[in-house]
Structure 1
Amino acid sequence: MGRFVTRKAAIGKILAAAAAGALALTLVTACGNDQPKAPTFVNNNQAAAPSASPTAPPVPFEFAVTPADKKKNLPVSTEIGTSVKGGEITSVALTDKAGKAVKGTLREDKSSWVPSAPLKYDTDYTATVVATSAAGQAETKKVSFSTRGKSGNDIGSGMYLFNGKTYGVAMPVVMEFSPGIPKRDRAAVQRRLFVQTDPPQPGVWHWVSSGTQAYYRGPDYWQAGTKITVRAALEGIPLSNGRFGDQDRRATAKIGDKFVMKVENKTKKMQVFKNDKLVKTFPVSLGKPSTPSSSGTLIVMDKQEHTVFDTFAELGPEEGYRTDIDFAQRLTWGGEFIHSAPWSVGDQGVRNVSHGCVNLAPQNASWLFGQTKVGDPITIKGTERKLEPGNGWTAWNLSWADFVKGSALPVPDSLKSPGSTGNATPTPTPTD
């Protein structure tokens, strides 16, 4: 049983449920990263003195700050840019017109200082930046600027990682945008997507071609017990299509035990692994040839113990159906699920009869539902259809080499190879 739910409806329901404090869907339409000494010149009539390499000339101390002084109508996403040669940034302070301090953190590469929250609209600010030369000389620069008013022409955005939740090891950080982010804006947006992992693990952002989604993951699944802290600092960021970022989003979540499912169409069986140990094998029925299941690595996106699959709007009155479903676990936006299917028990392990879903016997579906988490991966092999990019959280359906190609920012060589232990992002950034 099962066929496709509309993407728009599913997104709306997931985000609406998240705003209420839970990730859930309602009615669905179903399956389907020593200075060298100066040289000694020798007189041929004297004993030769030891030779040494030339000393490199000192780097001149240069120090600049942005924005320009008295700049007006800046976005509330404004950062204090810092550029120093022959020295380093010592401190950055930002205050509003009333003298109230604004909290913030320097990016790790010290290219700018990022406020910990969006600045206020229609507000005057003064930034005081101190840099110290290599010789110990301190220099202070002050700039004042003002922010623009709120436009009301915002993008819609969502983040599929919620505070305090526990997820599976394949859970990417997923950003959703409506409309999609134009290509020329993606680097600027990506620089405002901040991720930290504890223990540290590398990761990179990848954009789907439409710009409607961006995923963050590493070369390998997250380590069990990892804490992920995310800030999508998008409020007020200006885009080339005349829109602005809608809001800052934050979440700190945990990664639970490693739980992996593998399905082979050839055998019509599901193998279930917990912490790399095989714990269960179940017979399954997949999508029949006319409505095949998608082959690839999919991720559990949502779970509902009881729901209704209603496909009349999608398939019409002749082929559509409305069916009560138990233990439903969404895998794609198009409507493929793992779920209980008592009507196909005789077919499970033998033949494929579903509309694209992974059918299980009720007792097996119930056990599996009690074990899985959103973010757990399932790999399906050998069906007539490949998983389409963006049809669900398809971050793990790409090799690492292909995944890093989707970054809008340059990816260091240290992050391009599997098993990388490089920094968490191409330009590590603060989440405070």
Structure 2
Amino acid sequence: MSTWGTRAVGLLTVMVLAASCTGGGAASPEDEVEAKAPLTISASVDDGASDVAVDTVVTVDGFEGQLAEVSLASDDGKSTVPGEIHGVRWTASGLLEPATSYVLKASGTGDDGKPVTRISRFTTRALTLDEQTYPAVAPLEGETVGIGMPVIVSFDVPVTDRAAFEKRMKVTAQPATAGGWYWLSNNTAHWRPKQYWKPGTEVSVDLGLNSVHAGNGIYGQQDQHVKFRVGRSVMTVVDTRRHRATVKINGKNVRTIPVSTGDADHRSRNGIKVVMEKHRSIDMDAATTGVDSDDPNYYNLKGVKWAMRVTNSGEFLHAAPWSGAAQGNANVSHGCVGMSTKDAAWVFAQSKRGDVVSYVGSPRRLEPGNGWTDWNRSWDEWLEGSALGEDAEGA
């Protein structure tokens, strides 16, 4: 503890001897005078300290008086650390930036009625980019998403102290929505509702991760604050046996479309998928899915229209004018859902990132993590992926 000033002795007693014609006498209690002390200010970081850890929570204590104001800011004034006074202590509510010189200023009034101001300086430890992890968030700020959209946080450097981070990763919603975090790996965490989002829900994602220790000498690089909105409910059911896709909007069947899905050697995967990307036009090269150019199954399709990705492995819903005769009758694709250009354009126009696409009728199961496969886990299984073992009500 760094102490600015000298702490006074608590009590000074002055004995007043009254003269009388009969000799000396003892002082009465009224003759005792208490000397009041000046304010003494102590900080948790020493004046002149260097190499201070960025996850240090700075505190300031005031003795023999009352703290009135405390400020903590970088020497250049570009960065400030907020805090609050409770009783005799000021506590910072934020952490520190790396390689930064700080000025800590505290003032107040002592029991003696005199004002006191103390100033100290210190410098924090420098961190390389390899010692910091950046949190990238999906959805994007202001985005409107589907009812199946998870909140996705991706870290470029692994987080090994998941609990420390999860405590500071908050998702709140209006109306309130129960949900929880699931760590797919040390680099990726998803938050999903217990049930599909209610259309019209307003969601805020607040990650207070700046300078939080992530484990193994790694620290959060910055906070993140993102707001997004949930749009109308659009759900598509792809029946691979019947070669049909039924689109439901706000719970009502709106359109049934003839399609062709994966053939016997390239079955489309059964399970609940979520629209991850939308492309008006995209080149589809089988090499990106591990098929070599000399393989008989190799393809390289240029300018495929109205494509929506639903798996990491390369399953899309898209226009496939080359398979028109098979649509509604047979499965001839390499796993994608092919439809007419007209139908594909309509589906594309109705859809947004986060919409749910459920596949039924296929003997091939969707692998966990092959896309945003969150909805294929039960709620109990989902909670097992939390570092804290908790669900939360979005307020």
Supply the distance in 2 between the matched residues of 1:275 and 1:352 (Cα, whole angstroms). Answer: 29
Cα 1:266–1:406, aligned 2, differ >3 Å: closer, same or farther?
same
Deviation string, structure 1 residues 9-54 (Cα, Å, up to 9, x no partner): xxxxxxxxxxxxxxxxxxxxxxxxxxxxxxxxxxxxxxxxxxxxxx
**Higher RCO (CA 8 Å, separation ≥ 6 residues):** 1
* 1:339 match: secondary structure: strand
SS class of match (1:315): coil
Alignment length (residue pairs): 323
Q: What pairs up with 1:214-363 in 2 under 5 angstroms?
A: 214-312=189-287, 314-317=290-293, 318=295, 319-324=297-302, 325-363=304-342
RMSD: 3.4
Q: Offset of 1:249 from its aligned partner?
A: 2.8
Structure 2, unaligned stretches of length 5 or more? 1-42, 61-67, 85-90, 107-118
TM-score normalised per structure 1 = 0.66
Contact 1:195–1:231 (CA<8 Å) still a contact in 2?
yes
Letter in 1 for 2:389: P
Partner of 1:213: 188
Q: Equivalent residue of 2:219, what SS?
A: coil
Matched, 1:392 2:371: yes
Q: TM-score, normalised by structure 2?
A: 0.72
Query: Which has more strand, going by share of residues?
Result: 2
1:124 aligns with 2:102: yes
Alignment CA distance shift 1:74-1:384 (3 Å): farther
Partners of 2:97 and 2:207 in 1: CA distance: 15
* Aligned residue number for residue 199 of structure 1: 175
Deviation of the 1:235 alpha carbon? 3.7
How far residue 406 of structure 1 moved from its aligned partner, in angstroms, is: 0.6
CA distance in structure 1 between the aligned counterparts of 2:103 and 2:267, rounded to whole angstroms: 58
Q: Which amino acid is 2:386 matched to?
A: S
The structure that has the greater radius of gyration is 2
Q: Distance in 2 between matches of 1:270 and 1:92?
A: 65
State the alpha-carbon separation in 1 of the partners of residues 165 and 301 from structure 2: 42
For structure 1, the 5+ residue unaligned runs are 1-66, 83-90, 107-111, 129-141, 416-421
> What displacement does 1:390 show?
1.6
CA distance in 1, matches of 2:196, 2:216: 36
SS of the counterpart of 2:136? strand
The match for 2:381 is 402
Aligned partners of 1:378 and 1:164: how far apart in 2?
Answer: 23
Amino acid at match of 1:197: A
Partner of 2:87: none
Q: Give CA-to-partner distance per residue, 1:149-168, whole Å, 9 cap, x none.
A: 23221345422211111111
Query: How far apart are residue 102 of structure 1 and its match?
Result: 3.8
Equivalent residue for 1:423?
393
In 2, Cα distance between equivalents of 1:163 and 1:92: 36
Q: Which residue does the alignment assign to 1:150?
A: 127
CA 1:122/1:364 → structure 2, altered by over 3 Å: closer, same or farther?
same
Residues in 2 aligned to 1:120 and 1:333: alpha-carbon distance in whole angstroms: 37
What SS class does the counterpart of residue 316 from structure 1 fall into? coil
Structure 1 vs Structure 2: percent identity of aligned residues? Answer: 31
For the Cα contact (< 8 Å) 1:287–1:354, is it kept in 2? Answer: yes
Which residue of 1 is the match for residue 138 of structure 2?
160
Assess, with a 3 A threshold, how the Cα gap between structure 1 residues 121 and 179 changes in structure 2: closer, same or farther.
closer
Instruction: Map residues 54-203 of structure 1 onto 2, 5 A cutoff.
Output: 68-70=44-46, 73-76=51-54, 95-96=72-73, 102=80, 114-115=93-94, 119=97, 121-124=99-102, 126=104, 147-153=124-130, 154-155=132-133, 157-182=135-160, 185-203=161-179
The 1:102–1:372 alpha-carbon spacing in structure 2 relative to 1, beyond 3 Å, is: same
